[in-house]
Amino acid sequence: MDSEKNKILNRNIAFIHIPRTAGSYLSLYIERLLKKKNYHILNSWPSLKRDWNDEELLFFLKGYKSPLYVHNHYENWKSKIFYEYKKKGWFIFSFIRHPGDRLCSAYFMWDLKSRWKIPLNDFIKKNFESDWLNKNKKNGIPSFWRDMDFIAEFSHKSFAYFLKNYFDHDYIPTTPVLASSNMGYDYYCKKGEISKEVQKLIEESEEYRTYLKIRENFKNISNKKQIKSLSIKNNEDKINENTKHKKIIPKEDFVDFILNNYSVITDMMTKSEIKTVLNNLKIVLDRNIPGEVVEMGCNEGTTSLFIRRLLDYYNSDKELYVYDSFQGLPKKEINDYNEEEFNKQFITGGLSVPKELLIKNFRDAKLRPPIIHKGWFEEIPDLKIPKEIAFAFFDGDFYSSIIDSFNKIYPRLVPESRIVIDDYKHGAIPGVKKACDHFLQNKPEKNRIIAEGNLG
């Protein structure tokens, strides 16, 4: 795998699609990107509902008036054809996935529990015991993987690296394609639905050993591209563009540095309130708590931008997920009313902004946009919520929004995770505090509410 062959536009490109590795999602993303670069897209599935055969693949080697992009599933990439493409100078790439996760995804995608009446554990065991994956080459990892130009485990981080390194493109996550109801291999192992025996079968398989090698290879290559110590230009550097002096920012000063060097784009949050959010997120990052970062109610990104900056300064691989209706506030309920004049300003549909404004604000700030989900909180499919959550920020304003946020997020929280809730002590919108107190009254956590200003 050669990560130095940077910027491959105008070369012919081939994607070897290993099923259930987000291949449909990433191929669609790349196809849209390459169409703008005048590539001729050769994906047989939209029209033929099948892969290209050997004869067709060899025909494409004759070339075309514009550069080509070819998509085909792994089982229909023979080794001989792969090396013919290599001889012709094609850039060939693929993405992989943990074998257990991939099989879990296949099981739920094809609804095999109903169709085949087979438990998940038995399905995985049958695949590995029969060596179906390797002998029939349906879903494994190609034997010629070392000769590909790029191969890595799929994640938003690795895909972003791939797009930036080879296409000089800043990745913007979009809606998943062909997603299943799979909760993840680790989840089913913890629930006991995948036995220790089957886990051992996976860990002793050739595919799993190859998977680990590819993961390690990508880690080594991507680390070479990263700055070893965080260096950021100080204010003097901003004035004098010719100076090469850079100031090293210690981790303990990250939050203050961010707040001192970046402005707040709206008056919806004060710097003091944002500092509370970031300080709690910093604790999670310092302790290496596993899981992703979630914001319930992002509006145009006032707080989201600062969360993203702190994640970037830590060089964290945590994803930022944001959720918003982008239709403004929902209808008030009895718990949301009081006699304060300010309360009357919170009306149905108020504070609405288009999703596009959030994306624009991230682009203007030269930050990678979060994973965005549009819709009312109670209607968010469980599939669109991370399996493990380390940190969450709730900014729902009303009772129902906070209750819905808890219902969606609380079951996914990992030990030592944290939630910060905006407007907990805001007297004009009492529904926030009522929702927190009602939801948490019978929960086991200690020191559940530690209020700072209007936040809890």
Q: What is the pLDDT along the chain (456 residues), one digit of tens a residue?
A: 444 444 688 899 999 999 889 899 899 999 999 998 999 999 998 889 899 999 999 999 998 889 999 999 998 999 999 999 999 999 999 999 999 999 998 888 888 888 888 999 999 888 877 644 444 444 479 989 999 999 999 988 899 999 999 998 888 877 666 666 777 888 889 889 999 999 998 998 888 999 999 999 998 877 655 433 333 333 333 323 322 333 456 777 889 889 988 889 888 888 989 999 999 999 999 999 999 999 999 988 999 999 999 998 888 889 999 999 888 777 777 766 766 544 455 666 666 788 899 998 998 888 888 999 999 888 888 888 999 999 999 987 788 889 999 999 999 999 999 999 987 877 677 888 888 888 888 887 765 555 555 555
3-state class percentages of the chain: helix first, strand second, coil last, to nearest 5: 45, 15, 40
- The residues, any chain, with a CB within 8 Å of residue 239's CB and separated by 6 or more, are none
* Max Cα-Cα span within the chain: 77
Residues 6+ apart with CB under 8 A from 188: 104, 120, 194
Q: What is the pLDDT of residue 283?
A: 94
Tokens coding 10:
């105008």
The pLDDT, as a whole number, for residue 423 is 79
Which residue, chain included where needed, has tokens 């991370």? 386
Q: What is the pLDDT of residue 9?
A: 81
Q: Say what the pLDDT of residue 172 is.
A: 80
Residue 368 confidence (pLDDT): 86
- Name the pTM for this structure: 0.54
Predicted local confidence at residue 350, as pLDDT: 60
Domains and their CATH numbers in the chain: 13-225 (3.40.50), 262-440 (3.40.50.150)
pLDDT value of position 456? 52
Supply 159's token pair.
């895909």
pLDDT number for residue 14? 97
pLDDT of residue 225: 55
What integer pLDDT is reported at residue 180 of this predicted model? 66
pLDDT the model gives residue 40: 94
DSSP string covering 418-430: EEEETTTT-TT-T
CB atoms within 10 A of CB 246: 13
What pLDDT is recorded for position 366? 86
Sequential DSSP letters for 171-224: ------SS------HHHHHHTTSS-HHHHHHHHTSHHHHHHHHHHHHHHHHHHH
Cβ(420)–Cβ(402) below 8 Å: no
**pLDDT on residue 328:** 74
Instruction: With beta carbons less than 8 A apart as the criterion, state whether 434 and 441 touch.
Output: no
In this structure, what are the phi and psi dihedrals at residue 152, rounded to the nearest 5 degrees? -160, 165
Q: How far is CA 298 from CA 272, 321, 355, in A?
A: 18, 10, 10
Structural contact between residues 319 and 371, judged by C-beta atoms closer than 8 angstroms: yes
